[in-house]
A and B are shown apart, each in its own frame.
Chain A
C-alpha cells in the first residue's frame, strides 16, 4: 500500500474526501480535447475540402506536397514532398501537423490539462491517482517535454505563415485585393488568438527575460518580460480559444470548399 494508504498515514479508506464536483473539470477537458483529436485526425487524413481560393485550412498550411490543390501552395516554400511514399498516399497535412501538435502537446498548460484528464495523474488536487508508480518527466518518453522551446520556435514560423494566409484572405476568388469576407474575419480571429497563445507561452516568457538574474541590468528585456508575464496569466484561456479558433477556421474552410456554404463577401 502506498500513497495516502501508506502504513504511517491517517487510516482513511476513501481515496478522497472532497465533496465538490472535482471530476467535472477533467471530464470536460477530456471531452473537448478528445473531440478535437478525433476531428483533427479525421481532417488530417481526409485530404480534401481544405482549399477554396483564397482560404486554406490551417491544418494544411503551408501545403508542401505535390498533391496540393492548385493554388493552395505558397511559392516561397514550393512543394518539396511527394504525394506518395512507399506506394502509400500521404495527406499534405501530415507533413506539417507535427509542429503545431508538438507545440500544444509539450505546452506547460496542456500538460497540466491532459495529465489530469487523460492520465489521472492526479485527476484533481487531493484525489488519489490510480497509478502504483510515478517517475514524472524524468525519463522517456516524458523527458521529451523538455523540447517545448523547439516547438515554440517552429510555432512562431507557423504563426507567420497563418498570418500571411489571413492577409491573403483580403483577396477575392479572382485574387484581387481589397475584399473582405466572413472567411477573412474567421482567419483574423484564429491567427490573432494563435499569436496571443504563443506570446503568452512560458517558454516565450523565459526566453525574453526569465532566464536573467539581473533584471536591472536589462531594462528592455525586463519590460518585455513584464508584458509577457501579464499575457502569461491568461495562457490557459488563450490555449483554449486558439484551439477553438483553429478548429473553427478549418470547419469554415471545409464548409466553403465542400459547397455546403458560400463565403459571404462584405465588399
Chain B
C-alpha cells in the first residue's frame, strides 16, 4: 500500500546547491533508488542520479542517505521510521558534477598507480596452479564492486583534500594486499611502496571503510592491518630485518 514519504534531495553542481524537500509516494518493499526514480519521473525530470544494476553489484548508485554512505538500491525505505525525512546527498568526498552524481575519477587514477600482478618469468601462463586455501584468501577482496563507499567515508581524504595526492585509500589497499598475498606474484616491493607511495601509514584504522562496505569485506582486519604488519616486518622490526639478511630471503614464503 502506497504512503507518502518526505524526501530531501541535494540538488546543484560544483558552484552552488541546496537540499530540496519533496513528498513522494512509496510502496512496500521499495528501496531509496526506487523513490528517487519516482521523483525523477514525476517531479524533477532533470534530477541527475547514477545507477545501473539495481542489485547491489555494480556499485553505481553510491550516495549518502541520512549522512551515511550507502548504495541507494540496497537501502530499504522501510528501514527508516515512517514519519522520518530521508535526506539524500551526493558522496561528500568527491567533486560533485550534478545533483547526486560525483566525479569519482580520483579512484581510477589511483588504480593506475598500483602495479599489476607480476607473473613468474619461468612459469608459462597456462601452467600456474594454486591451492584452494591460497585462492580463498584473496577471494574476499575480489568481491569488491568498486562502489567507492569506503573511499568516500575514509576521513583521510574526506576531511583532508590535500591528502588525495599521497593516499590511495582502502579500496586500493585491498588490491595491494590481494597481490602481496598472492603466492605467485613476484613483485618484491609492494610492502614498501604501500607505505611510502600509497599512504598506508596515513590510515589510523578507525574502520569506517569496513563499516560501510556493502560486500562486507573485512577491509581493515584482513587487508589493511595485515599490510601494516607486513610493513613492520620490513621497516620497523630490526630482528626480522636481520633474519632476512642472514637467510637471504624476504622472510615471507
Contact = CB atoms under 8 A, between A and B. Distances in A.
A134 B17 CA distance: 28
A16 B87 CA distance: 11
A213 interface: yes
B18 A11 contact: yes
B205 interface: yes
B152 to A, nearest CB: 8
B167 to A, nearest CB: 8
Interface string B100-142: 0010000000000000000000000000001101100100000
Interface of B is mostly: mixed
B88 to A, nearest CB: 9
Interface of A is mostly: loop
A75 interface: no
A121 interface: yes
Contacts of B1: none
Interface residues of B, number: 68
A35 interface: no
Contacts of B181: 213
Interface string B1-44: 00000000010101011110000000000000000000000000
B212 A111 contact: no
Interface string A1-20: 01110111111100011111
Contact of A203 (B14, B95, B229): B229
A134 B156 CA distance: 7
Interface in A134-152: 134-138, 142-143, 146-149
A211 B206 contact: no
Given A17-B66, A125-B211, A232-B221, A137 B204 contact: yes
A11 B19 CA distance: 9
A21 interface: no
Contacts of A137: 201-204
B17 A215 contact: no
A149 B96 contact: no
Most chain B beta-carbon neighbours within 10 Å: one of A122, A126, A147:
A126
A145 to B, nearest CB: 8
B206 A4 contact: no
B162 A2 contact: yes
B206 A122 contact: yes
A3 B202 contact: no
Contacts of B66: 17-20
B215 interface: no
Interface of B: 10, 12, 14, 16-19, 64, 66-69, 84, 87, 89-90, 92-96, 102, 130-131, 133-134, 137, 152-153, 155-156, 158-163, 180-183, 185, 199, 201-208, 211-212, 221, 225-226, 228-233, 235-237, 251-253
